[in-house]
Protein backbone atom coordinates (compact mmCIF):
# COMPACT_ATOMS: atom_id res chain seq x y z
CA UNK A 1 0.00 0.00 0.00
CA UNK A 2 1.75 3.09 -1.10
CA UNK A 3 -0.86 5.54 -2.33
CA UNK A 4 -2.11 8.42 -0.23
CA UNK A 5 -3.99 7.20 2.85
CA UNK A 6 -7.63 8.08 3.21
CA UNK A 7 -10.35 7.28 5.74
CA UNK A 8 -11.04 3.54 6.05
CA UNK A 9 -14.44 3.61 4.41
CA UNK A 10 -14.52 0.46 2.35
CA UNK A 11 -15.77 -2.78 3.79
CA UNK A 12 -18.68 -5.14 3.75
CA UNK A 13 -20.84 -2.54 5.42
CA UNK A 14 -20.74 -0.42 2.26
CA UNK A 15 -24.02 -1.13 0.61
CA UNK A 16 -25.90 2.15 0.37
CA UNK A 17 -25.47 4.38 -2.63
CA UNK A 18 -24.66 7.34 -0.32
CA UNK A 19 -21.32 5.88 0.78
CA UNK A 20 -20.73 4.75 -2.81
CA UNK A 21 -21.02 8.35 -4.00
CA UNK A 22 -18.64 9.56 -1.30
CA UNK A 23 -16.08 6.90 -2.14
CA UNK A 24 -16.34 7.71 -5.81
CA UNK A 25 -15.93 11.45 -5.25
CA UNK A 26 -12.88 10.92 -3.06
CA UNK A 27 -11.25 8.68 -5.60
CA UNK A 28 -12.02 11.06 -8.41
CA UNK A 29 -10.64 14.02 -6.47
CA UNK A 30 -7.43 12.10 -5.66
CA UNK A 31 -7.04 10.99 -9.28
CA UNK A 32 -7.21 14.61 -10.45
CA UNK A 33 -4.60 15.85 -8.02
CA UNK A 34 -1.20 14.26 -8.02
CA UNK A 35 1.06 12.44 -10.42
CA UNK A 36 0.26 8.97 -11.75
CA UNK A 37 1.38 6.25 -9.34
CA UNK A 38 4.88 4.96 -10.01
CA UNK A 39 5.59 1.46 -11.33
CA UNK A 40 6.84 0.49 -7.85
CA UNK A 41 3.62 1.73 -6.29
CA UNK A 42 1.43 -0.20 -8.74
CA UNK A 43 3.50 -3.33 -8.18
CA UNK A 44 3.07 -2.93 -4.43
CA UNK A 45 -0.73 -2.90 -4.84
CA UNK A 46 -0.49 -5.98 -7.09
CA UNK A 47 1.64 -7.68 -4.44
CA UNK A 48 -1.02 -6.93 -1.83
CA UNK A 49 -3.64 -8.54 -4.07
CA UNK A 50 -1.44 -11.61 -4.54
CA UNK A 51 -0.95 -11.86 -0.78
CA UNK A 52 -4.68 -11.52 -0.27
CA UNK A 53 -5.28 -14.47 -2.63
CA UNK A 54 -2.54 -16.64 -1.17
CA UNK A 55 -3.51 -16.06 2.46
CA UNK A 56 -7.26 -16.50 1.98
CA UNK A 57 -7.64 -19.38 -0.49
CA UNK A 58 -9.77 -21.56 1.81
CA UNK A 59 -12.09 -18.68 2.75
CA UNK A 60 -12.55 -17.72 -0.91
CA UNK A 61 -13.26 -21.31 -1.89
CA UNK A 62 -15.77 -21.72 0.96
CA UNK A 63 -17.60 -18.46 0.19
CA UNK A 64 -18.01 -19.28 -3.50
CA UNK A 65 -19.14 -22.79 -2.67
CA UNK A 66 -21.71 -21.37 -0.21
CA UNK A 67 -23.06 -19.13 -2.93
CA UNK A 68 -23.31 -21.97 -5.45
CA UNK A 69 -24.40 -24.43 -2.76
CA UNK A 70 -21.72 -26.70 -4.14
CA UNK A 71 -18.90 -25.36 -6.30
CA UNK A 72 -15.96 -27.66 -6.97
CA UNK A 73 -13.02 -26.60 -4.79
CA UNK A 74 -10.54 -27.51 -7.52
CA UNK A 75 -12.42 -25.43 -10.08
CA UNK A 76 -12.27 -22.38 -7.81
CA UNK A 77 -8.58 -22.97 -7.23
CA UNK A 78 -7.60 -23.82 -10.80
CA UNK A 79 -9.98 -21.63 -12.80
CA UNK A 80 -10.13 -18.58 -10.54
CA UNK A 81 -7.31 -18.24 -8.00
CA UNK A 82 -4.51 -19.57 -10.24
CA UNK A 83 -5.33 -17.38 -13.29
CA UNK A 84 -5.84 -14.32 -11.06
CA UNK A 85 -2.32 -14.88 -9.65
CA UNK A 86 -1.11 -15.45 -13.22
CA UNK A 87 -2.52 -12.09 -14.31
CA UNK A 88 -0.73 -10.39 -11.40
CA UNK A 89 2.56 -12.13 -12.21
CA UNK A 90 2.29 -11.22 -15.91
CA UNK A 91 1.46 -7.56 -15.15
CA UNK A 92 4.31 -7.23 -12.65
CA UNK A 93 6.77 -8.76 -15.07
CA UNK A 94 5.86 -6.49 -17.98
CA UNK A 95 4.66 -3.31 -16.32
CA UNK A 96 7.89 -1.35 -16.67
CA UNK A 97 7.94 -1.89 -20.45
CA UNK A 98 4.21 -1.14 -20.85
CA UNK A 99 4.56 2.15 -18.98
CA UNK A 100 7.71 3.25 -20.82
CA UNK A 101 6.98 6.18 -23.19
CA UNK A 102 6.84 5.06 -26.82
CA UNK A 103 8.75 7.08 -29.40
CA UNK A 104 6.83 7.94 -32.59
CA UNK A 105 8.26 9.36 -35.80
CA UNK A 106 8.06 13.06 -36.67
CA UNK A 107 7.75 14.01 -40.33
CA UNK A 108 10.62 16.16 -41.68
CA UNK A 109 8.16 19.01 -42.27
CA UNK A 110 7.87 19.36 -38.48
CA UNK A 111 11.51 18.91 -37.55
CA UNK A 112 13.23 19.55 -35.25
CA UNK A 113 10.90 17.86 -32.78
CA UNK A 114 10.23 14.69 -30.80
CA UNK A 115 6.97 12.80 -30.46
CA UNK A 116 5.98 10.07 -28.06
CA UNK A 117 3.06 8.44 -26.29
CA UNK A 118 2.57 8.34 -22.54
CA UNK A 119 0.10 5.74 -21.31
CA UNK A 120 -1.64 7.65 -18.54
CA UNK A 121 -4.10 6.37 -15.92
CA UNK A 122 -7.67 7.29 -16.84
CA UNK A 123 -8.65 8.04 -13.23
CA UNK A 124 -11.45 6.02 -11.62
CA UNK A 125 -12.48 2.78 -13.27
CA UNK A 126 -15.76 1.01 -12.40
CA UNK A 127 -15.93 -2.78 -12.64
CA UNK A 128 -19.19 -4.74 -12.57
CA UNK A 129 -18.65 -8.49 -12.35
CA UNK A 130 -20.93 -11.53 -12.75
CA UNK A 131 -21.49 -14.54 -10.49
CA UNK A 132 -20.16 -17.41 -12.60
CA UNK A 133 -16.44 -16.88 -11.87
CA UNK A 134 -16.91 -14.23 -9.22
CA UNK A 135 -13.26 -14.01 -8.15
CA UNK A 136 -11.51 -14.15 -11.51
CA UNK A 137 -13.92 -11.81 -13.28
CA UNK A 138 -13.46 -9.25 -10.50
CA UNK A 139 -9.70 -9.64 -10.03
CA UNK A 140 -8.63 -9.92 -13.65
CA UNK A 141 -9.98 -6.50 -14.74
CA UNK A 142 -8.88 -5.10 -11.36
CA UNK A 143 -5.28 -6.15 -12.03
CA UNK A 144 -5.32 -4.46 -15.44
CA UNK A 145 -6.85 -1.29 -13.99
CA UNK A 146 -4.27 -1.11 -11.20
CA UNK A 147 -1.42 -1.85 -13.62
CA UNK A 148 -2.66 1.12 -15.66
CA UNK A 149 -2.46 3.29 -12.52
CA UNK A 150 -6.19 3.75 -11.87
CA UNK A 151 -8.35 3.75 -8.79
CA UNK A 152 -11.13 1.19 -8.84
CA UNK A 153 -14.66 0.78 -7.54
CA UNK A 154 -15.80 -2.80 -7.92
CA UNK A 155 -19.38 -4.12 -7.80
CA UNK A 156 -19.62 -7.93 -7.58
CA UNK A 157 -22.84 -9.78 -8.38
CA UNK A 158 -25.68 -9.96 -5.87
CA UNK A 159 -26.02 -13.67 -6.74
CA UNK A 160 -22.75 -14.41 -4.89
CA UNK A 161 -23.38 -12.45 -1.66
CA UNK A 162 -21.05 -14.47 0.59
CA UNK A 163 -18.19 -13.96 -1.84
CA UNK A 164 -19.01 -10.27 -2.34
CA UNK A 165 -18.94 -9.61 1.43
CA UNK A 166 -15.71 -11.54 1.81
CA UNK A 167 -14.06 -9.67 -1.06
CA UNK A 168 -15.17 -6.30 0.30
CA UNK A 169 -13.59 -7.13 3.67
CA UNK A 170 -10.39 -8.52 2.16
CA UNK A 171 -9.88 -5.61 -0.20
CA UNK A 172 -10.37 -3.19 2.69
CA UNK A 173 -7.82 -5.14 4.72
CA UNK A 174 -5.15 -5.61 2.08
CA UNK A 175 -5.35 -2.41 0.04
CA UNK A 176 -5.85 1.31 0.51
CA UNK A 177 -9.56 2.22 0.34
CA UNK A 178 -8.60 5.34 -1.58
CA UNK A 179 -7.29 3.06 -4.31
CA UNK A 180 -9.70 0.09 -4.44
CA UNK A 181 -13.12 -0.33 -2.85
CA UNK A 182 -15.85 -2.91 -3.20
CA UNK A 183 -19.51 -1.94 -3.30
CA UNK A 184 -21.97 -4.67 -2.37
CA UNK A 185 -25.70 -4.69 -2.88
CA UNK A 186 -28.49 -5.68 -5.26
CA UNK A 187 -29.54 -4.69 -8.73
CA UNK A 188 -30.60 -1.21 -7.59
CA UNK A 189 -27.07 -0.57 -6.33
CA UNK A 190 -25.67 -1.95 -9.60
CA UNK A 191 -27.92 0.39 -11.56
CA UNK A 192 -26.83 3.43 -9.53
CA UNK A 193 -23.21 2.26 -9.85
CA UNK A 194 -23.38 2.19 -13.65
CA UNK A 195 -24.66 5.78 -13.61
CA UNK A 196 -21.55 7.14 -11.83
CA UNK A 197 -19.36 9.32 -14.06
CA UNK A 198 -16.46 6.85 -14.18
CA UNK A 199 -13.49 7.43 -16.44
CA UNK A 200 -14.11 3.91 -17.78
CA UNK A 201 -16.64 1.22 -16.94
CA UNK A 202 -15.83 -2.43 -17.49
CA UNK A 203 -18.90 -4.66 -17.34
CA UNK A 204 -18.96 -8.45 -17.51
CA UNK A 205 -22.36 -10.07 -17.78
CA UNK A 206 -25.26 -10.70 -20.10
CA UNK A 207 -25.89 -8.91 -23.37
CA UNK A 208 -29.28 -7.65 -22.11
CA UNK A 209 -27.79 -5.97 -19.02
CA UNK A 210 -24.81 -4.81 -21.10
CA UNK A 211 -27.22 -2.68 -23.16
CA UNK A 212 -28.55 -1.07 -19.96
CA UNK A 213 -25.04 -0.42 -18.68
CA UNK A 214 -24.04 1.26 -21.93
CA UNK A 215 -27.20 3.41 -21.83
CA UNK A 216 -26.45 4.42 -18.21
CA UNK A 217 -22.86 5.33 -19.13
CA UNK A 218 -23.83 7.37 -22.21
CA UNK A 219 -24.99 10.59 -20.48
CA UNK A 220 -21.61 10.76 -18.69
CA UNK A 221 -19.70 9.93 -21.89
CA UNK A 222 -18.13 7.15 -19.87
CA UNK A 223 -16.35 4.76 -22.23
CA UNK A 224 -17.35 1.15 -21.69
CA UNK A 225 -15.79 -2.25 -22.14
CA UNK A 226 -18.55 -4.83 -22.34
CA UNK A 227 -17.62 -8.46 -21.80
CA UNK A 228 -20.82 -10.27 -22.74
CA UNK A 229 -21.95 -13.75 -23.67
CA UNK A 230 -23.64 -15.50 -26.54
CA UNK A 231 -23.79 -18.85 -28.28
CA UNK A 232 -20.24 -20.04 -28.89
CA UNK A 233 -20.15 -22.87 -31.45
CA UNK A 234 -17.85 -25.89 -31.54
CA UNK A 235 -17.32 -27.01 -35.12
CA UNK A 236 -15.90 -30.49 -35.64
CA UNK A 237 -14.52 -30.69 -39.19
CA UNK A 238 -14.76 -33.98 -41.13
CA UNK A 239 -11.02 -34.72 -40.89
CA UNK A 240 -10.83 -34.56 -37.08
CA UNK A 241 -11.17 -37.64 -34.83
CA UNK A 242 -14.70 -37.45 -33.41
CA UNK A 243 -13.76 -38.99 -30.09
CA UNK A 244 -10.94 -36.53 -29.48
CA UNK A 245 -13.19 -33.55 -30.26
CA UNK A 246 -15.90 -34.99 -27.98
CA UNK A 247 -13.41 -35.12 -25.08
CA UNK A 248 -12.38 -31.47 -25.49
CA UNK A 249 -15.94 -30.25 -25.96
CA UNK A 250 -17.15 -32.20 -22.90
CA UNK A 251 -14.27 -30.69 -20.92
CA UNK A 252 -15.18 -27.12 -21.92
CA UNK A 253 -18.91 -27.62 -21.58
CA UNK A 254 -19.23 -29.26 -18.18
CA UNK A 255 -16.62 -27.33 -16.16
CA UNK A 256 -18.53 -25.21 -13.67
CA UNK A 257 -21.64 -27.07 -14.93
CA UNK A 258 -21.60 -25.14 -18.18
CA UNK A 259 -21.77 -21.75 -16.46
CA UNK A 260 -18.79 -20.41 -18.37
CA UNK A 261 -19.09 -17.49 -20.79
CA UNK A 262 -16.76 -19.20 -23.29
CA UNK A 263 -18.17 -22.72 -22.86
CA UNK A 264 -19.01 -24.34 -26.20
CA UNK A 265 -22.75 -23.64 -26.41
CA UNK A 266 -23.55 -26.23 -29.09
CA UNK A 267 -21.64 -28.64 -31.35
CA UNK A 268 -21.75 -29.03 -35.13
CA UNK A 269 -20.58 -32.39 -36.49
CA UNK A 270 -20.67 -34.04 -39.93
CA UNK A 271 -24.22 -35.23 -40.72
CA UNK A 272 -24.84 -38.86 -39.79
CA UNK A 273 -22.31 -38.79 -36.95
CA UNK A 274 -24.42 -36.92 -34.40
CA UNK A 275 -25.29 -40.00 -32.34
CA UNK A 276 -21.71 -41.32 -32.30
CA UNK A 277 -20.54 -37.92 -31.17
CA UNK A 278 -23.20 -37.66 -28.45
CA UNK A 279 -22.27 -41.12 -27.16
CA UNK A 280 -18.59 -40.14 -27.11
CA UNK A 281 -19.39 -36.96 -25.14
CA UNK A 282 -21.41 -38.92 -22.60
CA UNK A 283 -18.71 -41.58 -22.30
CA UNK A 284 -16.28 -38.80 -21.36
CA UNK A 285 -18.75 -37.28 -18.95
CA UNK A 286 -19.08 -40.62 -17.16
CA UNK A 287 -15.33 -40.74 -16.61
CA UNK A 288 -15.17 -37.04 -15.59
CA UNK A 289 -18.09 -37.29 -13.14
CA UNK A 290 -18.95 -40.93 -12.26
CA UNK A 291 -21.86 -39.61 -10.22
CA UNK A 292 -23.54 -36.25 -10.38
CA UNK A 293 -25.78 -35.38 -7.45
CA UNK A 294 -23.29 -35.41 -4.58
CA UNK A 295 -20.11 -35.12 -6.61
CA UNK A 296 -17.86 -32.40 -5.14
CA UNK A 297 -16.09 -32.07 -8.50
CA UNK A 298 -19.27 -31.33 -10.44
CA UNK A 299 -20.52 -27.83 -9.62
CA UNK A 300 -24.12 -26.94 -8.81
CA UNK A 301 -26.20 -24.47 -10.81
CA UNK A 302 -26.17 -21.08 -9.11
CA UNK A 303 -29.86 -20.81 -8.12
CA UNK A 304 -33.18 -22.60 -8.22
CA UNK A 305 -34.41 -20.10 -10.82
CA UNK A 306 -31.47 -20.90 -13.11
CA UNK A 307 -32.02 -24.66 -12.58
CA UNK A 308 -35.68 -24.37 -13.46
CA UNK A 309 -34.88 -22.45 -16.63
CA UNK A 310 -32.49 -25.20 -17.76
CA UNK A 311 -34.89 -28.04 -16.93
CA UNK A 312 -37.74 -26.20 -18.68
CA UNK A 313 -35.53 -25.77 -21.76
CA UNK A 314 -34.87 -29.52 -21.81
CA UNK A 315 -38.58 -30.31 -21.41
CA UNK A 316 -39.46 -27.91 -24.24
CA UNK A 317 -36.92 -29.54 -26.57
CA UNK A 318 -38.14 -33.02 -25.68
CA UNK A 319 -41.77 -32.04 -26.26
CA UNK A 320 -40.71 -30.75 -29.68
CA UNK A 321 -39.25 -34.16 -30.62
CA UNK A 322 -35.62 -33.91 -29.44
CA UNK A 323 -33.72 -36.95 -28.15
CA UNK A 324 -32.17 -36.20 -24.78
CA UNK A 325 -29.28 -38.27 -23.48
CA UNK A 326 -28.36 -37.71 -19.83
CA UNK A 327 -25.96 -38.92 -17.20
CA UNK A 328 -27.00 -38.83 -13.53
CA UNK A 329 -29.83 -37.11 -11.74
CA UNK A 330 -30.97 -33.53 -11.17
CA UNK A 331 -30.42 -33.50 -7.43
CA UNK A 332 -28.43 -31.58 -4.83
CA UNK A 333 -28.57 -28.34 -6.84
CA UNK A 334 -27.06 -30.13 -9.83
CA UNK A 335 -28.42 -30.41 -13.36
CA UNK A 336 -27.36 -33.70 -14.92
CA UNK A 337 -25.02 -33.35 -17.93
CA UNK A 338 -27.22 -33.62 -21.03
CA UNK A 339 -26.68 -33.98 -24.77
CA UNK A 340 -29.57 -33.06 -27.07
CA UNK A 341 -30.09 -34.42 -30.59
CA UNK A 342 -32.63 -33.03 -33.07
CA UNK A 343 -33.54 -29.98 -30.99
CA UNK A 344 -36.60 -28.41 -32.67
CA UNK A 345 -35.97 -25.11 -34.51
CA UNK A 346 -36.77 -22.04 -32.43
CA UNK A 347 -36.56 -23.78 -29.03
CA UNK A 348 -34.82 -21.99 -26.16
CA UNK A 349 -31.75 -24.23 -26.38
CA UNK A 350 -31.12 -23.02 -29.93
CA UNK A 351 -32.28 -19.45 -29.36
CA UNK A 352 -30.54 -18.30 -26.17
CA UNK A 353 -27.13 -18.76 -24.61
CA UNK A 354 -27.60 -21.98 -22.59
CA UNK A 355 -25.20 -21.27 -19.72
CA UNK A 356 -25.68 -24.71 -18.21
CA UNK A 357 -24.62 -28.36 -18.67
CA UNK A 358 -26.64 -29.02 -21.82
CA UNK A 359 -25.06 -29.60 -25.23
CA UNK A 360 -27.22 -29.56 -28.35
CA UNK A 361 -25.59 -31.39 -31.26
CA UNK A 362 -26.49 -30.72 -34.88
CA UNK A 363 -25.27 -32.26 -38.14
CA UNK A 364 -24.06 -30.38 -41.21
CA UNK A 365 -23.82 -31.66 -44.78
CA UNK A 366 -20.80 -29.65 -45.86
CA UNK A 367 -18.46 -27.31 -44.09
CA UNK A 368 -19.67 -24.30 -46.06
CA UNK A 369 -23.19 -24.84 -44.72
CA UNK A 370 -21.83 -24.99 -41.15
CA UNK A 371 -19.70 -21.88 -41.66
CA UNK A 372 -22.59 -19.93 -43.18
CA UNK A 373 -24.84 -20.94 -40.27
CA UNK A 374 -22.33 -19.59 -37.76
CA UNK A 375 -21.83 -16.39 -39.77
CA UNK A 376 -25.63 -15.79 -39.95
CA UNK A 377 -26.02 -15.65 -36.16
CA UNK A 378 -24.84 -13.00 -33.73
CA UNK A 379 -21.06 -12.87 -33.48
CA UNK A 380 -20.09 -15.28 -30.70
CA UNK A 381 -17.66 -14.72 -27.85
CA UNK A 382 -15.70 -17.85 -28.77
CA UNK A 383 -15.41 -20.23 -31.68
CA UNK A 384 -13.97 -23.73 -31.43
CA UNK A 385 -12.77 -25.36 -34.58
CA UNK A 386 -11.45 -28.92 -34.67
CA UNK A 387 -9.33 -29.74 -37.69
CA UNK A 388 -5.83 -30.96 -38.43
CA UNK A 389 -5.87 -29.27 -41.84
CA UNK A 390 -4.49 -25.72 -41.96
CA UNK A 391 -6.44 -24.80 -45.09
CA UNK A 392 -9.71 -25.85 -43.46
CA UNK A 393 -8.76 -23.88 -40.37
CA UNK A 394 -8.06 -20.83 -42.54
CA UNK A 395 -11.40 -21.22 -44.34
CA UNK A 396 -13.33 -21.37 -41.07
CA UNK A 397 -11.46 -18.40 -39.57
CA UNK A 398 -11.78 -16.30 -42.73
CA UNK A 399 -15.47 -17.06 -43.04
CA UNK A 400 -16.60 -16.23 -39.50
CA UNK A 401 -15.91 -13.71 -36.75
CA UNK A 402 -15.85 -14.28 -33.00
CA UNK A 403 -14.28 -12.67 -29.95
CA UNK A 404 -11.60 -15.37 -29.79
CA UNK A 405 -10.79 -18.83 -31.07
CA UNK A 406 -9.24 -22.02 -29.77
CA UNK A 407 -8.33 -24.50 -32.48
CA UNK A 408 -8.42 -28.18 -31.45
CA UNK A 409 -9.50 -27.49 -27.90
CA UNK A 410 -11.82 -25.33 -25.85
CA UNK A 411 -11.50 -22.36 -23.47
CA UNK A 412 -7.72 -22.06 -23.50
CA UNK A 413 -7.37 -18.90 -25.61
CA UNK A 414 -8.82 -17.11 -22.57
CA UNK A 415 -6.03 -18.42 -20.34
CA UNK A 416 -3.28 -16.79 -22.43
CA UNK A 417 -2.03 -13.61 -20.75
CA UNK A 418 -0.46 -12.60 -24.06
CA UNK A 419 -3.81 -12.56 -25.92
CA UNK A 420 -6.60 -9.99 -25.69
CA UNK A 421 -9.87 -11.31 -24.29
CA UNK A 422 -13.10 -9.76 -25.46
CA UNK A 423 -16.16 -10.12 -27.64
CA UNK A 424 -17.33 -8.53 -30.86
CA UNK A 425 -20.81 -7.35 -31.82
CA UNK A 426 -23.41 -8.85 -29.48
CA UNK A 427 -20.70 -10.66 -27.49
CA UNK A 428 -19.11 -7.40 -26.40
CA UNK A 429 -16.76 -4.56 -27.16
CA UNK A 430 -13.19 -3.89 -26.09
CA UNK A 431 -10.77 -6.44 -24.76
CA UNK A 432 -8.57 -6.78 -21.71
CA UNK A 433 -5.87 -9.09 -20.21
CA UNK A 434 -2.17 -8.26 -20.19
CA UNK A 435 -0.99 -5.41 -22.35
CA UNK A 436 -4.40 -5.13 -24.01
CA UNK A 437 -6.05 -4.55 -20.63
CA UNK A 438 -3.34 -2.08 -19.64
CA UNK A 439 -3.90 -0.12 -22.85
CA UNK A 440 -7.69 -0.37 -22.68
CA UNK A 441 -7.67 1.22 -19.23
CA UNK A 442 -5.03 3.86 -20.03
CA UNK A 443 -5.16 7.00 -22.08
CA UNK A 444 -2.62 7.00 -24.91
CA UNK A 445 -1.59 10.61 -24.55
CA UNK A 446 0.18 12.16 -27.50
CA UNK A 447 3.12 14.41 -26.65
CA UNK A 448 4.96 16.51 -29.24
CA UNK A 449 8.00 18.49 -28.10
CA UNK A 450 9.19 21.20 -30.48
CA UNK A 451 12.94 21.79 -30.84
CA UNK A 452 14.84 25.07 -31.11
CA UNK A 453 13.03 26.34 -34.22
CA UNK A 454 9.33 26.08 -34.96
CA UNK A 455 9.41 26.01 -38.76
CA UNK A 456 5.66 25.79 -39.16
CA UNK A 457 5.02 29.01 -37.26
CA UNK A 458 7.67 30.77 -39.37
CA UNK A 459 5.38 30.40 -42.42
CA UNK A 460 2.95 33.04 -41.11
CA UNK A 461 0.39 34.53 -40.73
CA UNK A 462 0.27 36.85 -42.46
CA UNK A 463 0.46 34.21 -45.20
CA UNK A 464 2.90 35.20 -47.92
CA UNK A 465 5.10 33.72 -50.62
CA UNK A 466 6.94 31.41 -48.24
CA UNK A 467 3.68 29.81 -47.11
CA UNK A 468 2.46 29.45 -50.72
CA UNK A 469 5.77 27.82 -51.70
CA UNK A 470 5.58 25.42 -48.73
CA UNK A 471 1.96 24.51 -49.55
CA UNK A 472 2.91 23.78 -53.20
CA UNK A 473 5.92 21.74 -52.18
CA UNK A 474 4.00 19.71 -49.60
CA UNK A 475 1.11 19.09 -52.01
CA UNK A 476 3.50 17.64 -54.59
CA UNK A 477 5.14 15.22 -52.15
CA UNK A 478 4.76 11.60 -53.22
CA UNK A 479 2.04 9.83 -51.25
P1 LIG B 1 -25.99 -10.27 -15.50
O2 LIG B 1 -25.91 -9.43 -16.71
O3 LIG B 1 -27.32 -10.68 -15.00
O4 LIG B 1 -25.29 -9.54 -14.25
C5 LIG B 1 -23.95 -9.09 -14.28
C6 LIG B 1 -23.74 -7.98 -13.29
O7 LIG B 1 -24.57 -6.88 -13.66
C8 LIG B 1 -24.11 -8.30 -11.84
O9 LIG B 1 -23.07 -7.85 -11.01
C10 LIG B 1 -25.36 -7.49 -11.57
O11 LIG B 1 -25.39 -7.00 -10.27
C12 LIG B 1 -25.20 -6.34 -12.54
N13 LIG B 1 -26.48 -5.76 -12.96
C14 LIG B 1 -27.68 -6.36 -13.07
N15 LIG B 1 -28.59 -5.48 -13.55
C16 LIG B 1 -27.93 -4.32 -13.77
C17 LIG B 1 -28.32 -3.06 -14.29
N18 LIG B 1 -29.56 -2.79 -14.68
N19 LIG B 1 -27.37 -2.10 -14.40
C20 LIG B 1 -26.10 -2.35 -14.04
N21 LIG B 1 -25.68 -3.53 -13.56
C22 LIG B 1 -26.58 -4.50 -13.42
O23 LIG B 1 -25.06 -11.51 -15.81
P24 LIG B 1 -24.81 -12.79 -14.94
O25 LIG B 1 -26.07 -13.61 -14.90
O26 LIG B 1 -24.18 -12.41 -13.64
O27 LIG B 1 -23.71 -13.55 -15.81
C28 LIG B 1 -24.04 -14.38 -16.87
C29 LIG B 1 -23.79 -13.72 -18.20
O30 LIG B 1 -22.53 -13.12 -18.21
C31 LIG B 1 -23.79 -14.70 -19.35
O32 LIG B 1 -24.43 -14.13 -20.46
C33 LIG B 1 -22.32 -14.88 -19.65
O34 LIG B 1 -22.00 -15.28 -20.95
C35 LIG B 1 -21.81 -13.52 -19.37
N36 LIG B 1 -20.40 -13.58 -19.04
C37 LIG B 1 -19.51 -13.02 -19.89
C38 LIG B 1 -18.16 -13.10 -19.62
C39 LIG B 1 -17.12 -12.49 -20.50
O40 LIG B 1 -16.00 -12.35 -20.04
N41 LIG B 1 -17.42 -12.12 -21.72
C42 LIG B 1 -17.73 -13.75 -18.47
C43 LIG B 1 -18.68 -14.31 -17.63
C44 LIG B 1 -20.01 -14.21 -17.92
The mean pLDDT of 313-339, rounded to a whole number, is: 97
- Whether residues 259 and 215 share a domain: the answer is no
Return the half-sphere exposure (C-beta side, CA atoms, 13 A cut-off) of residue 319. Answer: 10
200-233 pLDDT per residue, tens: 999 999 999 999 999 999 999 999 999 999 999 9
Structural domains of the chain, count: 2
422-459 pLDDT per residue, tens: 999 999 999 999 999 999 999 999 999 999 999 999 99
Residue nearest to atom 18 of ligand 1 (CA): 191
183-193 pLDDT per residue, tens: 999 999 999 99
154-174 pLDDT per residue, tens: 999 999 999 999 999 999 999
CB of residue 137 inside a 6 A radius of ligand 1:
yes
CB of residue 220 inside a 6 A radius of ligand 1:
no
Task: Look up 237 and say whether it is catalytic.
Answer: no
Residue nearest to atom 34 of ligand 1 (CA): 229
Task: Look up 369 and say whether it is catalytic.
Answer: no
CB of residue 190 inside a 6 A radius of ligand 1:
yes
25-67 pLDDT per residue, tens: 999 999 999 899 999 999 999 999 999 999 999 999 999 999 9
CB of residue 423 inside a 6 A radius of ligand 1:
yes
CB of residue 194 inside a 6 A radius of ligand 1:
yes
Q: Which atom of ligand 1 is nearest to the CA of 229?
A: 34
Grade residue 4 by pLDDT with cuts at 50, 70 and 90.
very low
Mean pLDDT of the chain: 95
CB of residue 206 inside a 6 A radius of ligand 1:
yes
pLDDT for 286? 97
The mean pLDDT of 16-27, rounded to a whole number, is: 85
pLDDT for 9? 40
225-269 pLDDT per residue, tens: 999 999 999 999 999 999 999 999 999 999 999 999 999 999 999
CA of 185 to the centre of ligand 1 (A): 14
- Whether residues 309 and 188 share a domain: the answer is no
How far CA 314 is from CA of 160, 239, 274, 299, in Å, comes to: 26, 31, 18, 19
- Whether residues 112 and 244 share a domain: the answer is no
CA of 57 to the centre of ligand 1 (A): 24
CA of 356 to the centre of ligand 1 (A): 15
Helix (H) or strand (E) holding 145: helix 136-147
Contact present, 120 and 455 (Cβ < 8 Å) = no
Residue nearest to atom 8 of ligand 1 (CA): 157
Q: Hey, how many other C-beta atoms are within 10 angstroms of the C-beta on 298?
A: 28
CB of residue 141 inside a 6 A radius of ligand 1:
no
The mean pLDDT of 97-112, rounded to a whole number, is: 97
Find the domain containing 164 and state its range: 13-228+430-443
pLDDT for 11? 37
pLDDT for 17? 56
Q: What is the pTM of this model?
A: 0.94
The mean pLDDT of 335-348, rounded to a whole number, is: 98
Return the half-sphere exposure (C-beta side, CA atoms, 13 A cut-off) of residue 340. Answer: 29
Among residues of the chain, what percentage have pLDDT more than 90? 95
How far CA 461 is from CA of 97, 465, 467, in Å, comes to: 42, 11, 9
Catalytic one of 237, 261, 347, 385: 261
CB of residue 213 inside a 6 A radius of ligand 1:
yes
- Residue 108's region, left for phi above 0, alpha for psi from -120 to 50, else beta, is alpha
Contact present, 259 and 68 (Cβ < 8 Å) = no
pLDDT for 16? 44
Question: What's the CATH number where 75 sits?
Answer: 3.40.605.10
Is residue 258 one of the residues assigned to a domain? yes
- Whether residues 224 and 292 share a domain: the answer is no
Is residue 421 one of the residues assigned to a domain? no
- Whether residues 195 and 287 share a domain: the answer is no
CA of 205 to the centre of ligand 1 (A): 2
- Whether residues 220 and 238 share a domain: the answer is no
- Whether residues 89 and 221 share a domain: the answer is yes
Among residues of the chain, what percentage have pLDDT more than 70? 96
pLDDT for 18? 66
Residue nearest to atom 39 of ligand 1 (CA): 227
Grade residue 13 by pLDDT with cuts at 50, 70 and 90.
very low
Grade residue 2 by pLDDT with cuts at 50, 70 and 90.
very low
Amino acid sequence: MTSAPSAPLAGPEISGTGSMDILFRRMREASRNGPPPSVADRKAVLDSLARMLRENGPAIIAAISDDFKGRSETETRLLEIVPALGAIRHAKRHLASWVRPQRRTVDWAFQPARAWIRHEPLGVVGIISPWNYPLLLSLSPLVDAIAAGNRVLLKPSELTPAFADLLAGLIARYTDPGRIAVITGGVEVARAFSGLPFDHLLFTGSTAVGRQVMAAAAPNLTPVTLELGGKSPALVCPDYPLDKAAGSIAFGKFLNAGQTCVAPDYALVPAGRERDFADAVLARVRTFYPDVAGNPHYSAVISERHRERLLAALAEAEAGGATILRHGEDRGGRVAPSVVLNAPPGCLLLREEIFGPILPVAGYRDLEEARAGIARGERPLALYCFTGDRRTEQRVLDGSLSGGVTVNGTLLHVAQDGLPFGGVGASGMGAYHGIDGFRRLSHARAVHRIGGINGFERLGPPWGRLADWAARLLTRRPV
